[in-house]
Each structure stands twice: as C-alpha cells, then as structure tokens.
C-alpha cells in the first residue's frame, strides 16, 4: 500500500467503509467574534468550510436526513465540521454532541476545532464519549510557522497546539491534523519544516489540503490585487508526495486535497480536478517506488 488511507482503516476496524455525516453545529470561531481576531482565517468562507450544509436544519434533522436512505448495516461518522466545534459552554457542547449520536449506526464522533479552544473540562467531556463510540478531534494547524499563522489570521501560535496535544495525550483522544499547502509566501522548505514539526507528536491522522481561493474571502482580495499566487498543480503534487513520504508510517491519511464549492472557486482551476490530483500523486509515488514514511527519520 502506498499510504494508509482512511477507507483502509475503516475496512480493517469495522469491516467496511464508513460514510461521513457533515454537521453544522451552530458554532462560531474566536478569530471571527473578536476574542483573538476578526474576519476568520484569510482563506475561510462565510460558512467556515460548511458551504454544503443547510444551516436552517437542527443537528438532529441533519443527521436524520443523512440516515434516511441508509441500510441497516451501514455505518457513519458524525463530523462536526465548520467553524470551531468546542467553542461554547460545556453544557452546550454536550447537548449538541448528544443531538448527533441518535443512531447506533454512528460509530465515530469527529470534532473539528482549534487547539486554543480546548481545555481540561472539554477534553474530559470529549473523552467521555469513548464509552459510546470511537472519537477523534481534528485541529486546523495548517502550518508550523507562527509567522505564516499571523499572516493567515489563524489566531494562535504553536504553543497552543502543543498544550492541546498534551491534553489529548492525557485523555487518550486521537488527533487528526490539517495541513494546507500553498499558503502565502510559503515554500517547499516551509512544508518540510511543518512535517518535521508534526512528526514530534503521536498523531492518528492527517488531512492534506490544497489551497484554493474562495469568493468573498481575504485571500480572494489578495489574489485579485496580485498579492497572492496559488501553487501550480505540479507544485502541490510535489509537496503532497514529500509529506506522505516523510510522515510517520502509521499515520492514517484522511485527505489528499481540498474541495472548494465549484460556484465559489476563484483559483486555481486545477482544484476542480480532484481525481486527477490524487491519481497524479499516486502515479508519482509508484513511478519512483515511494510509500508513506519511506523517508521518515
């Protein structure tokens, strides 16, 4: 196997592939409401990566809608996706997580959040769900560079990530880290530094995102002003292959590219060709006899 993909992990653990129910939990974000910034990350759209989710539906309605045509033997991941899904009082978090876990076919609770929005009490709450299903937390690290973090308005530095990882380790909560290739002024050297950094931690998974410029974002303004140029597909593939070959061999790869809603994509146009991107990464690895972690040290 060239790399440990999520489908393979599911088949090994559950005997079949799990479908993902993407949930809008009705949360906000601290770099949108002024706690640590305003406007959100420069690439983040108005819906915080949940453009395809109907925000008028309750959590229960979202889940029931996804389960409506499911078979009795189907299995699912309840994924709290957009914005910061630990950014609320503890009682609210519990109420919303419980609202998603309404069917025994939901085998995984996945929570997308920020490391600066995790504390001990929240970690305890998340860990308590391991009695009902598998659980993991997803952190939008994107880059190990604090300089880039400031540039993209991420709103936290590496020390927050490191503190959160200590909490996740303490409560044995698996972590998936998101990385973005092509952030402003970053080069392949920044990718290498980020890989070296994340290899310091015990990670369950990784999501590798190709950058895209979405309408009505700060990044779109920069692109239109000539202040930002996204990478070519070849540059992205080079970076993705580097990441795959240098991360730990046991990490599960959850994603190899990013998806922008087609009607909101400004650039690059190659972002639309998801299958081509993945096939090119696979081809390059096969061509040179590479596999996940083959260059990990």
Query: Is the model's pLDDT at 231 over the cut of 80?
Result: yes
Query: Is the model's pLDDT at 156 over the cut of 60?
Result: yes
> Domain 6-287 is classified in which CATH homologous superfamily?
Aldolase class I (3.20.20.70)
Which residue, chain included where needed, has tokens 């440990």? 4
- pLDDT for 34: 75
Give the mean pLDDT of 122-130: 98
- pLDDT for 48: 45
pTM: 0.95
Do the Cβ atoms of 63 and 78 come closer than 8 Å? yes
| Alpha-carbon span 244 to 284, nearest angstrom | 11
| Alpha-carbon span 282 to 20, nearest angstrom | 24
Query: Is the model's pLDDT at 131 over the cut of 90?
Result: yes
Mean pLDDT, rounded, of the chain = 94
Beta-carbon neighbour count of residue 106 at 10 Å?
A: 21
Q: Which of 242, 97, 223, 90 is nearest to 179 (CA)?
A: 242
Give the mean pLDDT of 268-281: 95
Please name the residue ranges forming H helices in 181-269.
188-198, 218-224, 233-246
129: β partners: none
| Alpha-carbon span 148 to 211, nearest angstrom | 14
- pLDDT for 46: 66
Query: Is the model's pLDDT at 32 over the cut of 90?
Result: no
Do the Cβ atoms of 109 and 97 come closer than 8 Å? yes
Do the Cβ atoms of 147 and 120 come closer than 8 Å? no
Give the mean pLDDT of 186-204: 98
The tokens describing 143, both together, are 């880059």
Provide the percentage of residues in the chain whose pLDDT is more than 90.
Answer: 88
Per-residue DSSP letters for 39-81? S-STT--TTTT-TTS-TTS-HHHHHHHHHTT--TT--EEEEE-
- pLDDT for 56: 83
pLDDT band, very low/low/confident/very high, at 7 (cuts 50, 70, 90): very high
Give the mean pLDDT of 104-110: 98
Q: Report which DSSP code applies to 216.
A: T
Give the mean pLDDT of 121-141: 97
The tokens describing 43, both together, are 């690439």
Give the mean pLDDT of 8-29: 95
pLDDT tens column, 42-78: 998 765 455 566 778 999 999 999 999 899 999 999 9
Q: Is the dihedral of CA 51, 55, 56, 60 positive or negative?
A: positive
| Alpha-carbon span 46 to 213, nearest angstrom | 13
Query: Is the model's pLDDT at 143 over the cut of 80?
Result: yes
For the packed helices 233-246 and 274-287, what is the interaxial angle rounded to 10 degrees?
50
- pLDDT for 54: 78
């Amino acid at each position: 196997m060239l790399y440990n993909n999520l489908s393979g992990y599911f088949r090994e653990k559950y005997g079949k592939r799990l479908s993902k129910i993407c949930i809008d939990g009705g949360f906000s974000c601290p770099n949108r409401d002024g706690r640590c910034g305003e406007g959100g990350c420069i690439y983040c759209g108005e819906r915080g990566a949940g453009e395809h989710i109907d925000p008028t539906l309750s959590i229960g309605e979202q889940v029931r809608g996804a389960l409506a045509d499911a078979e009795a033997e189907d299995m699912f991941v309840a994924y709290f996706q957009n914005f910061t899904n630990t950014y609320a009082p503890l009682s609210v978090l519990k109420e919303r997580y419980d609202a998603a876990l309404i069917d025994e076919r939901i085998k995984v609770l996945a929570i997308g959040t920020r490391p600066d929005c995790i504390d001990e009490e929240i970690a305890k709450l998340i860990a308590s769900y391991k009695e009902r299903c598998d659980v993991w937390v997803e952190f939008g690290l994107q880059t190990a560079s604090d300089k880039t973090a400031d540039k993209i308005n991420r709103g936290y530095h590496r020390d927050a990530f490191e503190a959160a990882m200590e909490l996740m380790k303490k409560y044995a909560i698996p972590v998936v880290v998101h990385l973005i290739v092509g952030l402003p002024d970053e080069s392949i050297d920044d990718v290498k530094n980020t890989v070296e950094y994340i290899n310091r931690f015990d990670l369950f998974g990784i999501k590798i995102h190709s950058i895209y410029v979405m309408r009505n974002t700060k990044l779109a303004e920069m692109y239109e002003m000539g202040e930002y140029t996204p990478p070519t597909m070849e540059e992205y593939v080079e970076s993705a292959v580097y990441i795959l070959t240098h991360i730990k061999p046991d990490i599960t790869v959850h994603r190899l590219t990013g998806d922008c809603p087609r009607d909101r994509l400004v650039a690059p146009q190659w972002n639309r060709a998801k299958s081509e991107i993945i096939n090119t990464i696979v081809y390059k690895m096969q061509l040179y006899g590479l596999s996940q972690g083959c260059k990990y040290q």
